[in-house]
Amino acid sequence: MSDLIELLRKKYKKIYHGHSMPELQHCSCGLLSLDLALGGGLPRGRIIQLYGPPSSGKSTLAFTFVRAFQHREEPCLYIDLEGTGQKNDMQRHRLLENETFNYATPPDGEEAINMALDAAEYGAKIVVIDSVPYLRSKDAVNKEVGERSFAAVSTLISNNLNKLTHTFRTTNSILLLINQLRANTYAGTLHCRKLKNQISRHPVSYRTFTTPFWYSRVATPVLTLLAKSSPTVSPQSRITSAAKLPAMASSRLSNFS
């Protein structure tokens, strides 16, 4: 057995024996209750997907994460593909105006992914992409009106997911993807109706689980944060409600751990 372990370590270097596997590092996200629910905060070196219905506070929560990294003097990059960011938003979320915060609006998804990879390699500890539906290739963006592109977003991410996973794991950085959750009300499917009932029943809640990302052939676990919101919750109270997670969050998380 010792000869086998010595041979594997000499040939493949990163071979762990017994319980010598590296521990997963966590960092505070700026919300104490969410840190406790996640087991210590956001996991470093992972891809995190934050998704929910429109106007559920996804960008607000992402800015809260960025502010927590700024207080630790860790560089951050916010990639705004939607192009809706304003300076008033930065001031309202109390982001620090120093070199730790970087903001970019690339024209297409390919440049956004390359920018995220370069930022991670040059020291950025968290990269936020807002949002996934706008991650379209340059060819899809330059198409004329009426031309269709099949699975442009999922194809682009699937082709670059392995490189993203390897880069952010080796640099111990976090990639935060903001996605949108849309239920077609005209489809009449049972899944959409159940989802609508769950969202209306719990105004703001979060749950985490690991799931294959986009395609089953890419077996990359992605930590997912699901932000649920109801129209009765005002935008001003969303971040306050997020800071006060219900006690049931811990029991829900244990089901997915």
pTM score: 0.70
CATH class, 28-256 region: alpha beta
Phi, psi of 107 (to 5 degrees): -80, -25
Please spell the DSSP secondary structure of 70-135, one letter per residue: HHTT--EEEEESS----HHHHHHTT---STTEEEE--SSHHHHHHHHHHHHHTT-SEEEEE-GGG-
pLDDT in tens, the chain (257 residues): 677 777 777 777 777 776 677 788 999 999 999 999 998 999 999 999 998 888 888 999 999 999 999 999 999 999 999 888 888 888 888 888 888 999 999 999 999 999 999 999 999 999 999 989 889 888 887 777 777 777 788 889 889 999 999 999 999 999 999 998 866 544 444 444 555 555 555 444 433 333 333 333 333 344 556 554 444 444 444 443 444 444 444 444 445 44
